[in-house]
Amino acid sequence: MISVTKAINIIGQQVKPLPSEAIPLGDSIRRILAEDIVADTDLPPFDRSQMDGYAVVAADTVDCPVDLNIVGESAAGRGWRKKMRRGEAIRIMTGAPVPKGADAVQKIELTRESGEALRILEPTEPGRFIVKRGSEIKKGKAVVNAGEQISENMVAALAAFGYFTVKVARSPKIAIIGTGSEIVEIDKKPSRDQIRNSNSIMLDVLCRKWGAAPVILPNVRDEISDLKSRIAIAARSSDMIVLTGGVSVGKYDHTKTALSELGAEIFFEKVRLKPGKPAVFARLADTLVFGLPGNPVSAAVTFHLFVRQAILLAQRAVKPDMPQGFAVASVPVKGTKERDVYLPAKLSTTADGRLIAEPRRFSGSSDFVGFARADALIVVPRGTNIAAGEAAKIVYL
Ligand code: AMP
Ligand code: MG
């Protein structure tokens, strides 16, 4: 049995980085950038008014009320190009360039306009309501770096600098295979002794979430020859294969045998982990193979710890690890002697600012109903327990 850290290191050594491709910005969410995003202009590109009002010289407004001459107008997309002088004002709209000579904007609510005359009712000060050129970012600076995952919140910044396509790492192609003679597709009514294949679709959405391109292959029965041929075919067109089921020591657990007989190199087959001890990691020719336990919670936990890392590393992500933190356990959490426990938990906050982790009702690694509302895993290192109220390490799902 090897530690979780060792297992992750082994995976890291085997993953080969994928080449990059250009894709439309709107399709790039969750993909990993393969280029730095660089500002091609200052932002804002000119001193910009934050208000509808009047561009003025602040020194003219010290003794209010004061009357100024309106000599022009600066609208968004149509600035006023001459130089404004003392005693003058320019009507200005939100987003419009502040004319030369002006050093402040007074908002419309604090003014009265009649004809060419403008009365300023309250003083303003230099810089007021002006967003200075380049104050958000300077031309040539990187806004987002290669290796970062593109989020919805980044899209506006990328668009503003003309990245209508972006260079990202190609998505790893992943074949997902559910195994087990008891497994039926999810649109079927299971007969006696059968269960629906909830793993494959779960892994499919998880793979997509981390930027991979998965396909779900038909379920395979616990027949070694079927399993071998399915794995061999899948390996030809996939960067990775994720199997579930058949990795324990039962009479019909054939995954490891199938892999060995196909000539795969098996890197590990037992991890000091609960749930997820029998997780297998292997390589068949150039394809990485993950054999995850069939129990849905074990499959989810081992996906997050191992497959997710591999997917992100293949895309050259700078932060492939699960984000970590600390939270206060709401109840005592028992560890085990031999294995690190990763217990599904729901996070919440208290009014005094503490983060609380409440273990999900958890009746074992098959309890996907309990897992359904988990958003983190509480880590209980082997040989330790966590008392109620004690801070514990968590990893975010
Ligand atoms: P195994 O890892 O094959 O020993 O399976 C462990 C448990 O997980 C058994 O109760 C299986 O019925 C269940 N299981 C295996 N594969 C799946 C699947 N694709 N979806 C849901 N449950 C599964
Ligand atoms: Mg099975």
Q: Is 198 in the pocket of ligand 1 (CB under 6 A)?
A: yes
Mark whether 183 and 297 lie in a shared domain. yes
Mark whether 310 and 352 lie in a shared domain. no
Mark whether 207 and 269 lie in a shared domain. yes
The 3-state DSSP class for residue 271 equals: strand
Q: Is pLDDT at 364 greater than 70 in this prediction?
A: no
CATH code, 376: 2.40.340.10
> Is residue 138 assigned to a domain?
no
> Is residue 32 assigned to a domain?
yes
- pLDDT of 365: 64
Ligand 1 center–CA 196 separation, angstroms? 9
Ligand 1 center–CA 296 separation, angstroms? 7
Q: What is the pLDDT of residues 240-290, one digit of tens each?
A: 999 999 999 899 999 999 999 999 999 999 999 999 999 999 999 999 999
CATH code, 24: 3.90.105.10
Q: Is pLDDT at 362 greater than 70 in this prediction?
A: no
Mark whether 160 and 53 lie in a shared domain. no
Q: What is the pLDDT of residues 15-61, one digit of tens each?
A: 999 999 999 999 999 999 999 999 999 999 999 999 999 999 999 99
Distance of alpha carbon 367 from alpha carbon 356, whole angstroms = 22
> Is residue 140 assigned to a domain?
no
DSSP 305: I
> Is residue 137 assigned to a domain?
no
Neighbours of ion ligand 2 (CB under 5 A): 180, 245-246, 294
> Is residue 319 assigned to a domain?
no
> Is residue 370 assigned to a domain?
yes
Mark whether 64 and 156 lie in a shared domain. no
Q: Is pLDDT at 390 greater than 70 in this prediction?
A: yes
Average pLDDT estimate for 224-233: 97
Ligand 1 center–CA 256 separation, angstroms? 16
Q: Is 294 in the pocket of ligand 1 (CB under 6 A)?
A: yes
Mark whether 200 and 217 lie in a shared domain. yes
DSSP string, 312-329: HHHTT-S--SPPEEEEEE
Which residues are CB-contacts of 304 (< 8 A; sequence separation ≥ 6)?
A: 206, 322, 377, 395, 397
Lowest-confidence pick of 45-59, 201-215, 222-236, 353-367: 353-367
Mark whether 338 and 380 lie in a shared domain. yes
60 lies in which domain range?
48-131
Q: Whose C-alpha lies nearest to ligand 1, atom 17?
A: 294
Q: Is pLDDT at 88 greater than 80 in this prediction?
A: yes
> Is residue 285 assigned to a domain?
yes
Into how many domains does the chain fold?
Answer: 4
Angle made by CA atoms 339, 263, 300, in degrees to the nearest 5: 35
Mark whether 29 and 155 lie in a shared domain. yes
Mark whether 227 and 267 lie in a shared domain. yes
> Is residue 11 assigned to a domain?
yes
Q: Which two tokens stand for residue 133?
A: 């050129």
- pLDDT of 162: 96
Mark whether 186 and 286 lie in a shared domain. yes
